[in-house]
Amino acid sequence: MNEADSFAEIFRGGLPHCLLIVFSMLLICSPVMPSEFEVISMSKYDLNGQHYGSRVSAISLEARSLYSWNTSRHCVLTRLTDLSIHDFDKLRQGAGGLILMLPSNILNLDLETKELITILEQSMLTHTAAVPIYFAPYNKDLEKIIDDITYTTTDSPGQNQTALAQLVVTVSANRYHINVGGGSIAANKNSKIPIIHGELIPNQLALKPTESIADGQKLPVILITANLKTFGIYNDYPVNADAAVLLVLMELFSKLHYTSSMAPKYRLRFLLSDAGVLLNFQGSKKWLEVDDNALQNVEFVLCLDTISESLSYTTDNALYMHVSKPPKDKTSISNFFKLLKSSAEKYSNGLAVEGVHKKINLADTKLAWEHERFSIKRYPSFTLSSVKSPRSPIRTTIFRNNESRLVEHTLNTTRIIAEALASFMYKVDSTSSIFEGQLAIKEENILPYFGVKSILHNNDVKDAFEKYLNNVKIIYDKPDVRDPEFMFYNENEVKLNVYRVKPAIFDLFLTFVIGAYLLTVFLAIQYFPRFYDEVSKLTKEDSAGQLNGHSSERLRMKSH
């Protein structure tokens, strides 16, 4: 009975201390409250049966740096500026996820880094990824986590450290767990591409007395086309300089068309859609299928594509006219090219106008330039662009330089195109200036159109078309149910949660420590009675020895 009481007494005094130690260890190994960050999913779409982007959204994996991941159980967290195309090719197939932090300010990057970013963008937009990919806006806290992950996995195992020291560093190091929620990614059944078009018809005052409105509608047609960029590597709106130039030309020539002293020799038509190079110019393809007769009496088709480089990293200052077939002398395109060169010499500061010839590759399902859509139909057409090669990554970048520089360049290019077009249409001497005074092209004309977004998401484009043009119509290109040429996917708003946790070896170490502690407690409880008996015996022997010693001492004293 005494032993049972002693056993219970041990638990009364020792159990709270045992639980306190265990709870402390559990608190140490438990994950810290998560840090939450904004993230944007990479764009997802289909084109001609090819998938682009990722079809996976959820991530719940250990965070690793770009230099330490080695399995699909790792999610790589790194900066966009640290990623190369070679790294991306390996990650999109082998990692469990990829989260890229965007630069804090693209303007502060050197020219080489800007070029690498645009090339990486192009690669990401033209490949399928088997893993979820997200982009995180720059955040100081997230940058610290990236630095911590990179330091832990590359610098901590020092070369001159002992095995024990390396073990202590490994056990005490922090790890991070990444969690990004997200439901299943489903195709958007309401996917559609809007195309808006209209034309400038001269009023009765602008015609000769013997001419009627019907005669004006028989005039040759000049079609000007452009595309709104509605997305890049993620769903955001880059600078739409091409649409801005088209809308400004529309505004300017509407004033000229209604001036009695400027009798037009041509009808102007304008076409704008939400499908550019990434969607293989589906907008112009649909429009040609629906309204093919509109170009029966066409003089030429002028396509605008990357009129201003949104993220320039070269010193090239040129405007290129891209054609599928070199124009013969004295043809409309040849005459316009000469007027364009004359206009550039007069109104630009060193801007060169050059012609570039590239045959259409009919074996390739993707077209290089929009004018090829019209050239296939044997309509005379060309593309004006600030880039020489159709493979230039500048055409698909979502990043931008200083907006004031973009506005200045766009303003200058618009003036050159407008003067050349007016000289061609109204048979005006190229040495004279038309867009001066009240018709001068200013920043106030460009800026309102610079931030134009999708035709679907606001009425700015529609209002401008209806204000300056006649016969304005909007048509939609919708994917076929059985064999869709394109398809968009629904995007879910998600958050990035980063938890700080201990590495797996810490769990093993903690298990060993707890096991050793429990074993010590068990042995102490198991052998406490024997230990108590041994201590008691030793205590009794010492007491008996001391008593015997005192008795002998008393006897000696009495004998003396």
- Give CB contacts under 8 A, 24+ apart, made by 112-118: 112/313, 113/81, 114/311, 114/313, 114/399, 115/313, 115/393, 116/81, 116/84, 117/80, 117/81, 117/311, 117/397, 117/399, 118/311, 118/313, 118/393, 118/394, 118/396, 118/397, 118/399
Q: What is the pLDDT, as a whole number, of residue 518? A: 84
Q: What is the pLDDT of residues 487-542, one digit of tens each?
A: 999 877 889 999 988 766 666 777 877 888 888 888 878 777 777 777 777 776 66
Question: Cα–Cα distance between 478 and 96 in angstroms, integer?
Answer: 34
Q: Where do the DSSP E strands lie in 489-558?
A: 495-501
Which domains can be identified in the chain, with CATH numbers? 32-186+492-509 (no CATH), 193-477 (3.40.630.40)
Q: What is the pLDDT, as a whole number, of residue 46? A: 93
Q: What is the pLDDT of residues 411-438, one digit of tens each?
A: 999 999 999 999 999 888 777 888 888 8
Q: What is the pLDDT, as a whole number, of residue 8? A: 47
Decide: 180 and 499 in contact? Cβ < 8 Å: no
- Whose CA is closest to 310, among 419, 397, 210? 397
Question: Cα–Cα distance between 466 and 108 in angstroms, integer?
Answer: 41
Enter the DSSP assignment of 308. Answer: S
Question: Cα–Cα distance between 46 and 129 in angstroms, integer?
Answer: 13
Q: What is the pLDDT, as a whole number, of residue 173? A: 62
Q: How far is CA 279 from CA 15, 45, 159, 306, 485, in A?
A: 69, 9, 52, 15, 9
Q: What is the DSSP string of 35-56?
A: EEEE-EEBP-EEETTEEEEES-
Q: What is the pLDDT along the chain (560 residues), one digit of tens a residue?
A: 455 455 445 444 544 555 555 555 555 555 555 689 999 999 999 998 899 988 888 999 999 999 989 889 999 999 999 999 999 999 998 999 999 999 998 888 888 898 899 999 999 998 888 899 999 999 999 999 999 888 765 554 444 556 666 566 555 566 899 999 877 788 888 899 999 999 987 665 455 555 555 555 678 999 999 999 888 898 876 778 999 999 999 999 988 877 756 667 788 999 999 988 999 999 999 999 987 777 888 999 999 999 988 776 666 689 999 999 999 998 999 999 999 999 999 988 788 999 999 999 888 889 999 999 999 999 999 999 999 999 999 898 888 877 788 888 899 999 999 999 999 998 887 778 888 888 888 888 888 888 787 887 767 889 999 999 999 999 999 999 888 999 999 877 889 999 988 766 666 777 877 888 888 888 878 777 777 777 777 776 666 555 555 555 554 555 55
Phi, psi values for residue 21, rounded to 5°: -70, -45
Q: Per the structure block, which two tokens stand in for 99?
A: 């989260």
Q: What is the pLDDT of residues 122-153, one digit of tens each?
A: 999 988 888 999 999 999 999 999 998 887 65
Q: What is the pLDDT, as a whole number, of residue 156? A: 46
